[in-house]
A and B are shown apart, each in its own frame.
Chain A
Amino acid sequence: EDQVTQSPEALRLQEGESSSLNCSYTVSGLRGLFWYRQDPGKGPEFLFTLYSAGEEKEKERLKATLTKKESFLHITAPKPEDSATYLCAVRRPVGGSYIPTFGRGTSLIVHP
């Protein structure tokens, strides 16, 4: 069964303490992996799209990478305003269409 698993479920960091979030998937025929940031009670905010193994994208303190089985979201020198839930989603083929499947997310708290 196709699956998207994010780890850890929760992560607490001190300001400036770099770390990585993981998204592993068992999808065949991947057609894009997406990272979103979600603040409490709000809709997800689009961050990155990755399509092929070896691809990397950066935005401010965030860098997303992709391999054939997983993606990492690296956070360099995080600040308290980076606190949020980070969601990973993969788009997989289903009957001639493509269905997005989300993981449960990683809740990140950055302490000042």
Chain B
Amino acid sequence: DAGVTQSPTHLIKTRGQQVTLRCSPKSGHDTVSWYQQALGQGPQFIFQYYEEEERQRGNFPDRFSGHQFPNYSSELNVNALLLGDSALYLCASSFGTLGEQYFGPGTRLTVT
């Protein structure tokens, strides 16, 4: 049974560029949530997608946007990258918006 997968594993971008991160949910799950985790901190909730719509959003600017596809996979897009966007980006999937969340391995983004 495949768990949550994320790509790429690592990414290096330059300030001002745009980035797209991808996530495939655990088999049987239909909801995807995205988190940002800075070093030494707990994950911070960015947003959640269910039925191809953004259902909940944390305190992140509009530079952060997402999409969910009919097969439940999801993308996180970040525009106009800042140095402070450097972090581990985590995807979590669940069955329904209130289900238990299972996390992927994350994408390490470095902005230089």
Q: Which residues of A contact B (CB under 8 A)?
A: 4, 31-32, 34, 36, 41-46, 49, 87, 89, 91, 94, 97-105
Is there an interface contact between B103 and A98, defined as CB atoms closer than 8 Å?
Answer: no
Q: What are 15 pairs between A and B in contact, CB < 8 Å?
A: A43-B92, A44-B43, A44-B90, A44-B103, A45-B103, A46-B101, A46-B103, A89-B42, A91-B98, A94-B56, A97-B56, A98-B56, A99-B58, A102-B44, A104-B41
Q: Which residue of A lies closest to B42 (CB)?
A: A102
For the residues of A in contact with B, the DSSP-based class is strand
Q: Are B45 and A43 in contact (CB under 8 A)?
A: no
What total of chain B residues lie within 8 Å of the partner, measured CB to CB? 25
B98 touches A98 (CB 8 A): yes
Complex contacts, B105 vs chain A, CB 8 Å:
42-43
Task: Map CB proximity to A onto B4-47 as digits: 1 under 8 Å, 0 otherwise.
Answer: 10000000000000000000000000000101000011111100
Residue with the greatest number of chain B CB neighbours at <10 A, chosen from A41, A44, A105: A44
B96-109 interface code vs A (CB 8 A; 1 in, 0 out): 01101111111010
In the complex, are the beta carbons of B101 and A99 less than 8 A apart? no
A41 to B37, CA, bound (A): 11
Q: Which residues of A contact B55 (CB under 8 A)?
A: 97
Rounded to whole Å, the gap between the CB of B93 and the closest CB of chain A is: 11
- Chain B residues contacting A4 (CB-CB under 8 Å) are 42
